[in-house]
Each structure stands twice: as structure tokens, then as C-alpha cells.
């Protein structure tokens, strides 16, 4: 038993050291400021491994924590994750309840001293229509946001009860209210006005550089449609989200760096 534990410890140590070396090499090149993940494939992963659907979602949260730490080690300034769409409320009530309970549990974990967000100085933003969330989840979310509000090194956006259409509609409504409050009855609402009222902008997020969707599905599913501008690199990956890891992420970062290096620079005259 002692020998087995020693070998396991040695293996984990070697894997950790190799991972850190890889991350240092990657970090020597250009690094995206903002990376977004669509947490897709949890249910198919569960069925593939003969697990309950709830376990697939739980393993998905572990994958999010794993990828968040990798991004923070690379000095990515903002990570966004599509956790729960407004459309997901149409799923079976049992699955929705289990997901809400899991979200509450993970948000409570975040508030504990020494959590990953506290260690790396990460500010948490819950992005979405919070009115649709159960009261217990809203309470846990507010507490987690308040406890990380002082963190300035990086930002984590958890998109819960979210769709891009709802975000854009909310931003436009805010622009209209602001215009009326200022007494402007004939003002024109511009793209810049809407952009400043988006939930991600209000949370201090930089422009989106990379959007990653695992599980082999090639669509955006109403996620950050406004933010996916001409400079955003959209990457699709066949791996189910709970299995997504460093070796899925490395080719994406290398592709980002290659495109940055190959982009002609404007020369000031």
C-alpha cells in the first residue's frame, strides 16, 4: 500500500511539473485577455460513462475549475462560462432542480476562505436574468459576488439564466431608461450605448478573444452573440466538456498565437 501511494504521489508530481512547464512555454507568447467556454456535453458524457445525468453536470463543474486554474496560470484576465441558459428551464423539472442545487452548492464553496478565486484574486460576476433563479441560488450568488468584489487580478463570469437575446434586450431597455431620465426625447441609441450597458461590460470584462464550444456541436446557442465580433476566434472541439482539459486547450492557444503573429501590424507614419 505504501509503495502504491508513493508511486501515485510521484506520478502526480511529474504530471504537475510537466503541466507547469507547458503553461510557462505557452505564457511566453501572446495570451488572450478573455476566453469563454460553452459547458456543453455534460449529459452525453454521463450517458457515455453510464453515470446519472446529475453526475455529468457535477463533473462539468470540476472541469470548469480545472480550466479556470489553467487560464489563471496563463494570465488570462477574464474567463466566461455558459453554465445555464434560459432555454434550459424547459428541461425536466428534476434535472433543473438538481442543476440549481449544484449551482447553489458551488457558489457556497466559492465563499469559503482559501478558494481558487481568493487565491488568484478573481472577481466573480453572475451574468444573466437573476430574477428567474431560485431565491436560494440568488442569495448564494450575491454573497459570492460581494466576497470577491475587492479582487482585481482577473474576472470570472458565470452566465446563469442567460441568453444573448435577453442581454441585448435588457441593454437596449437600459439605454432607453437612461435617455428618458436625462430628458432626451429624440436621442439616438448607438452601438456604443448598447455595448456599455451589456452585462459583461458592466462587470468589467474586456473584449472577447476566444469562444470555445466542446462536444462536437457547432453553433453558438444564443451565447455572447454581440461580443463575438470580427476579432473573436470561435473554436469547436469534439471533447465532451467534463473531459475537456489542458491538451484540448493547448492547440487552441497555439492557433490564437499563430494568428496574432501572422496578423500584419500597422506602421505609424
Which of 212, 208, 247, 243 lies closest to 228, judged by CA? 208
Output the nine-digit C-alpha cell for 6: 508513493
Per 3-state DSSP, the chain is made up of helix, strand and coil in percentages (nearest 5) of: 55, 15, 30
C-alpha 76/C-alpha 252 separation (Å) is 14
Catalytic residues: 40, 88
- Interhelix angle 53-73/93-110, rounded to 10 degrees, is 30
State the DSSP string of 164-215: HHHHHHHHHHHHHHHHHHTT-SSPPPPHHHHHHHSHHHHTTPPPP-EEEE-T
Q: How many CB atoms lie within 10 A of CB 74?
A: 17
C-alpha 99/C-alpha 19 separation (Å) is 31
Which of 17, 70, 112 lies closest to 62, judged by CA? 70
Displacement of CA 198 from its chain's centroid (Å): 16
φ/ψ (deg, to 5) at 139: -65, -45
Amino acid at each position: 500500500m505504501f509503495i502504491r501511494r508513493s508511486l501515485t504521489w510521484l506520478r502526480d508530481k511529474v504530471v504537475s511539473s510537466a503541466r507547469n512547464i507547458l503553461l510557462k512555454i505557452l505564457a511566453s507568447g501572446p495570451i488572450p485577455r478573455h476566453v469563454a467556454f460553452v459547458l456543453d456535453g455534460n449529459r452525453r458524457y454521463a450517458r457515455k460513462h453510464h453515470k446519472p445525468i446529475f453526475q455529468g453536470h457535477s463533473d462539468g463543474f470540476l472541469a470548469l475549475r480545472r480550466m479556470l486554474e489553467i487560464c489563471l496560470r496563463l494570465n488570462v484576465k477574464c474567463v466566461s462560462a455558459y453554465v445555464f441558459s434560459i432555454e434550459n428551464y424547459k428541461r425536466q423539472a428534476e434535472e433543473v432542480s438538481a442543476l440549481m442545487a449544484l449551482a447553489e452548492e458551488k457558489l457556497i464553496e466559492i465563499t469559503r476562505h482559501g478558494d481558487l478565486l481568493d487565491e488568484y484574486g478573481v472577481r466573480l460576476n453572475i451574468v444573466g436574468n437573476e430574477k428567474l433563479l431560485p431565491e436560494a441560488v440568488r442569495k448564494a450568488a450575491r454573497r459570492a459576488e460581494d466576497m470577491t468584489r475587492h479582487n482585481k487580478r482577473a474576472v470570472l463570469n458565470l452566465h446563469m439564466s442567460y441568453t444573448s437575446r435577453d442581454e441585448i434586450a435588457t441593454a437596449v431597455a437600459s439605454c432607453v431608461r437612461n435617455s428618458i431620465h436625462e430628458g432626451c426625447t429624440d436621442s439616438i441609441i448607438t452601438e456604443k450605448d448598447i455595448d456599455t450597458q451589456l452585462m459583461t461590460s458592466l462587470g468589467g470584462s474586456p473584449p472577447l478573444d476566444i469562444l470555445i464550444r466542446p462536444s462536437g456541436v457547432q453553433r453558438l446557442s444564443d451565447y455572447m452573440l454581440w461580443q463575438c465580433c470580427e476579432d473573436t476566434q470561435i473554436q469547436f472541439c469534439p471533447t465532451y466538456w467534463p473531459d475537456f482539459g489542458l491538451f484540448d486547450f493547448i492547440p487552441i492557444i497555439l492557433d490564437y498565437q499563430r494568428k496574432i503573429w501572422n496578423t500584419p501590424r500597422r506602421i505609424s507614419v
